[in-house]
Amino acid sequence: MMDGKLLTNTYLGNVVEKLHIAERYVTMDSRYEENVEILKEIQPIRVPASDIEVKLGATWIPEEYITQFVKEKFKLENKDITIFYQKNLEKWFLEKNDYCNNVEINDIYGTSDIDALDLTIEALNLHAPNVYKKIDEKTVIDKEKTMLARQKQDMIKEEFSNWIFSDVERRKILEDIYNNTFNSIVDREFDGSSLTFPGMSPLIKLDPHQKNAVARGLFSEYATLLAHCVGAGKTYEMIATIMEMKRLGIAHKPLMIVPNHLVQETAKSFYELYPNANILIATKEDFQKQKRRIFAGKITTGEYDAIIMAHSSFEKMPMSREVEEQHINNQIFELEMAQRDTKNRSTIKQLETAKKRLRKRLKMLLEAKRRDDVINFEQTGIDYLIVDEAHLFKNLFIHSKLSNVAGAVGANSQRASDLYMKTEFLLEKQNGKGVIFATGTPVSNSLSELYIMMKYLEPHVLEQTGIYSFDEWVSTFAEVVNSLELDTSGKGYKVRQRLARFYNLPELMSLFRMVADIKTREDLNLPIPKIRGGKPEVIALEPSTELETFMDKLVKRSAKIQRRWSKAKRR
């Protein structure tokens, strides 16, 4: 039996999957009929085809429809061609056993330099075509031919968008796939009004949104992202969540990591909220070579309400060699399985190259000398990780074909890679929980930061929906656009590809809100200083002669760097 409150708190989330489970159980036990009926009532409103935006390259589209489109549009019905997606390589391939040559391929939808089939494969793999030419023995982009090829590719993309839902049966099948995959979530609202917080200072009262945040951390099926604006009280939210998890037995050894300069301030806030808390505060001295083993012993054998340490200290507790070795071996196994599933020679060759890279990395790991003074993270017994200012770890490496697209791929930070391996370990250990992030700016500079947060906190959801890789995620929810931007010198303009727009946004946000608790300044009605005049004012100043001279030097340096980069890229 269920009342409305229990339904709200525990019976939402992925209600499509839960309905399928309940329907299986009802065949064995009629008592589950009530569960089935309730779940049917709260299924998400079906998204019609008219509200689904499909781009050429979306990996949730069945391969046979891509092949069908190419054959119909390019008049190749009698040709033996197949287009397929190799998930392990995250790449679309064309297998062609017949010679293909007609006016559609070479003229209407293609050019004399790149035919329509190649343009289609490029579009499927999120690539914009380039045509090159030789000038004085130098290879440069032919701007006119490149522009023509890109216009033809845009034409193919538009034809696909018009074609994909034109058939009634195909539209129904694709609607079912999309809704079952991406429109299966009903957002849960967490109510923390009943929480009593034993041991908390009577001088401090948490606001309703803070109590609700604690309830999410305690009762959610997933990891948590406290995406609350500055001033919302995230520090108290994290501390209260830790103490309640410890009291209820949800966590036994929680670790809270904070920016280096905030360790003592966080400890002070901890004691303000819970005066009798028993916390272990890690200092720089604790991670000196001669003291690491002693400190590791404190963590392992001590009974603390929480452990607090700096981000930099956290990096000095790496995962063990055995865990990293297993991680690499799993990747190699996936590539070997992919080799068995394909007969395409080009695919097999690329898979083999990827395997060689991983085996080289594994060899370096195994040959490295073991260090006795290193504290292995999993040996400490830490079972819950709370990361303050989590945006500082956003530079996680992303494997992507969009390397030349602005806003797509960021830097490769060792700090972020280290955190990712540890969160992956905890999520597996805690069945999808075990990690709480807190930041006021989960997305600040590029759209890819949203994907990175999802990869940290809900990788299993990305995998279940078929968008685990960044390119798969982009193909479903984001769009690369050509935009005119100032060049690096600040004095000229250039056309640049940029990841600049989301689409199918409601479904993307439903997936994101499975882990994210989002509170803006407007949501909380926080007081902020008023701007004189009511709005920002731009004050422009004339540049001085010295500044103009300096800018001219920068322009020349930028041009030299660009020429060197272009030469290196062609090699």
Show the 3-state SS of 147-212: HHHHHHHHHHHHHHHHHCCCCHHHHHHHHHHHHHHHCCEECCCCCCCCCCCCCCCCCCCCCHHHHH
283's CB contacts (< 8 A; 6+ apart) are 263
Residues 170-188: pLDDT tens digits? Answer: 999 999 999 999 998 888 8
Is the model's pLDDT at 254 over the cut of 50? yes
Residue 291 carries which side chain, given as an amino acid letter?
Answer: K
Grade residue 488 by pLDDT with cuts at 50, 70 and 90.
low
CA angle 446, 439, 262 (to 5 degrees): 125
CB 412 within 8 A of CB 395: yes
Mean pLDDT across the stretch 8-32? 81
Cα distances (Å, whole numbers) of residue 310 to 235, 251, 259, 264, 443? 15, 20, 6, 10, 23
The tokens describing 85, both together, are: 């997606």
Residues 332-373: pLDDT tens digits? Answer: 887 777 666 555 566 677 678 878 888 887 887 777 665 555
Residues 73-86: pLDDT tens digits? Answer: 999 999 899 999 98
Q: β-strand 493-502 against 185-186: which pairing, if any?
A: unpaired
User: Between 193 and 340, whose confidence is greater?
Assistant: 193
The DSSP string of 355-416 is: HHHHHHHHHHHHHSPP-TT---GGGGT--EEEEETGGGG-------S-TTSBTT-----HHH
pLDDT of residue 166: 95
Residues 417-469: pLDDT tens digits? Answer: 889 989 999 999 999 999 999 999 998 878 889 999 999 999 999 999 999 98
pLDDT of residue 360: 85
pLDDT of residue 343: 56
Mean pLDDT across the stretch 270-283? 95
Residue count of the chain, please give it: 571
Is the model's pLDDT at 10 over the cut of 80? no
CB 307 within 8 A of CB 254: yes
In three-state secondary structure terms, 535 is coil
Cα distances (Å, whole numbers) of residue 314 to 102, 256, 382, 416, 419? 61, 10, 12, 11, 9
Residue 155 carries which side chain, given as an amino acid letter?
Answer: M
**Residue 158 C-beta-side C-alpha neighbours within 13 Å:** 7
In angstroms, the CA 13 to CA 207 distance is: 25
In three-state secondary structure terms, 349 is helix
Cα distances (Å, whole numbers) of residue 77 to 85, 110, 511? 20, 18, 39
Mean pLDDT across the stretch 236-260? 96
Range in 203-217, 360-374, 518-532 with the lowest mean pLDDT: 360-374
Round the average pLDDT of the chain to a whole number and report it: 86
Grade residue 108 by pLDDT with cuts at 50, 70 and 90.
very high
Q: Determine what percent of the chain is predicted with pLDDT higher than 70.
A: 90
pLDDT of residue 34: 87
The tokens describing 461, both together, are: 């959801």
Mean pLDDT across the stretch 40-67? 93
Burial track 321-358 (b if 16+ CB lie within 10 A, e otherwise): eebeeeebeebbeebeebeeebeeeebeebbeebbeeb
Is the model's pLDDT at 538 over the cut of 50? yes
Share in percent of the chain as helix, strand, coil (round to 5):
50, 15, 35
Strand partners, 387: 257, 437
Mean pLDDT across the stretch 3-23? 69
Residues 381-415: pLDDT tens digits? Answer: 999 999 999 999 998 877 777 767 777 766 667 78
User: Between 301 and 489, whose confidence is greater?
Assistant: 301
In angstroms, the CA 356 to CA 348 distance is: 12
Residue 368 carries which side chain, given as an amino acid letter?
Answer: A
Is the model's pLDDT at 8 over the cut of 50? no
In three-state secondary structure terms, 258 is strand
The H or E element containing residue 297 is: helix 292-301
CB 152 within 8 A of CB 160: no
User: Which phi and psi (to 5°) does residue 296 adopt?
Assistant: -60, -40
Q: Determine what percent of the chain is predicted with pLDDT higher than 90.
A: 50
pLDDT of residue 369: 64
Show the 3-state SS of 63-103: HHHHHHHHHHHCCCCCCCEEEEEECCCCEEEEEECCCCCCH
Grade residue 536 by pLDDT with cuts at 50, 70 and 90.
confident
Which of 125, 129, 133 is closest to 154 using CA atoms? 129
